[in-house]
Amino acid sequence: MNITEALLHALKERGAREVWGIPGDFALPYFKIIEQTGILPLVTLTHEPGLGFAADAAARIRRGLSVAAVTYGAGAINMLNAVAQAFAEKSPVVVISGAPGTAERARGLLLHHQVKTVGSQFRMYQEVTCDQGILDDPATAPAIIERVLRNCLEHSRPVYLEIPRDMPAVACGPVAPHVPTPCDEEAVAACAAEVLARLRAASRPVLMVGVEVRRYGLEDRVAELADRLGVPVVTSFMGRGLLAGKACLQGTYMGVAGDAAITQAVEGSDGLLLLGVIMSDTNFGVSSSHIDRRRLMHAEDREVRMGFHTYHDIPLEKLVDALLAALPEGGGPAQPRWMWTVRWAATWSTGAALWPTRPR
């Protein structure tokens, strides 16, 4: 097995279905191996920004990683904008780029497609990816591939792998199977307990779901959680379309640009739980008032921030499962006293409050 084959097998094992690519001279050696082995089919396009957007779209639709393969400089740098968008909106795209080989770097000549230094491209990609690696040593390549692809999946963001032109066919060992990073189950349980305690204490609770719910394939589990909680449920602007057709969903929060009743419910909540919501101006810049972060529970980026403290290394899927485990199924006598019956205004245009009322 060589470095390129090890990478392709690791990508396939982690859910990649094809390689979206545009060849170029620094990338031709590994493109040749992609075509010859057929481990993953190669889909060739004609313009790098379009290539990046295609890989991004594939990752979003399939809720898994996708692959964009390009050459050095003119290819990878031309795709930066698409990868930056994927980073901002949490789409797991694996960028594979060719690069000058060891002998070429040692000549001391300015290489074609080089910007400032040979490493300039790598440093550019550090700004728009969550992990990076250069596969220039067969002894370390499998571990680098395993780490970078694990971070791509766990953080749902782009990563960058660079293969120097003289390395694609160099023999190396296989990449270890994907094993999720372990988390502290006691910390997850404590975090879930605090979330539920804060919801119990709130008189105006609201659940808002965002884009991470879609990225991690949690839509059905979050819909079940919303049903068991029995609180008003909305999506963020970037999470619109989530929970479509689910009875628990009341609409999308859009601040002053949206429904007045939903805006009032979100901005006036004393127990606002955000699941996978990006704290950006796109989602909250249209707010007519500042969200009170002291009463906010925010699960995103493998952290859960509550008031002035933070639980670290809490994957969103683990938190959702812990919340479900702490809540009974089907309601009935076992249902906690703090579950609510939601009473929505007959006409939202009146701007009437949408708070749920406690059962008498």
For 106-125, how does the pLDDT look when each residue is reduced to its tens digit (9 = 90+)? 666 556 666 678 789 999 99
275 — pLDDT class (breaks 50, 70, 90): very high
Given 164, 194, 224, the domain boundary residue is 164
Burial per residue of 119-140, b for 16 or more beta-carbon CB atoms within 10 angstroms, e otherwise: eebbebbeebbbbbbbbbebee
**56 and 12 in one domain?**
yes
Domain CATH for 92? 3.40.50.970
Average pLDDT of span 319-334 = 77
Instruction: Output the pLDDT for position 228.
Output: 94
**84 and 200 in one domain?**
no
**226 and 113 in one domain?**
no
CA-based angle 162:163:169, to the nearest 5?
160
Average pLDDT, the chain: 88
Instruction: Output the pLDDT for position 103.
Output: 72
Domain CATH for 288? 3.40.50.1220
| Structural domain count of the chain | 2
129 — pLDDT class (breaks 50, 70, 90): very high
Instruction: Output the pLDDT for position 279.
Output: 86
Average pLDDT of span 78-90 = 97
Q: Given a cut of 50, is residue 356 above it in pLDDT? A: no
Instruction: Output the pLDDT for position 335.
Output: 40
Average pLDDT of span 165-184 = 96
**145 and 214 in one domain?**
no
Instruction: Output the pLDDT for position 108.
Output: 62
**96 and 158 in one domain?**
yes
Which range of residues forms the domain containing residue 239?
Answer: 185-350
**238 and 346 in one domain?**
yes
**192 and 119 in one domain?**
no
Question: Does residue 356 form part of some domain?
Answer: no
Q: Which of 71-80, 142-151, 314-323, 324-333 has the lowest mean pLDDT?
A: 324-333
**190 and 159 in one domain?**
no
Instruction: Output the pLDDT for position 334.
Output: 35
**67 and 20 in one domain?**
yes
**116 and 242 in one domain?**
no
**271 and 145 in one domain?**
no
Q: How far apart are CA 21 and CA 351, in angstroms?
A: 51
Provide the residue count of the chain. Answer: 360
Given 135, 164, 193, the domain boundary residue is 164
234 DSSP β-pair partners: 208
Instruction: Output the pLDDT for position 330.
Output: 57
- Taking only the tens place, the pLDDT of each residue in 309-326 is 999 999 999 999 999 999
Instruction: Output the pLDDT for position 289.
Output: 64
Q: Which of 179-193, 259-273, 281-295, 346-360 has the lowest mean pLDDT?
A: 346-360
Average pLDDT of span 242-262 = 87
**203 and 80 in one domain?**
no
Give the highest mean pLDDT range of 54-58, 277-281, 331-335: 54-58
Instruction: Output the pLDDT for position 347.
Output: 33
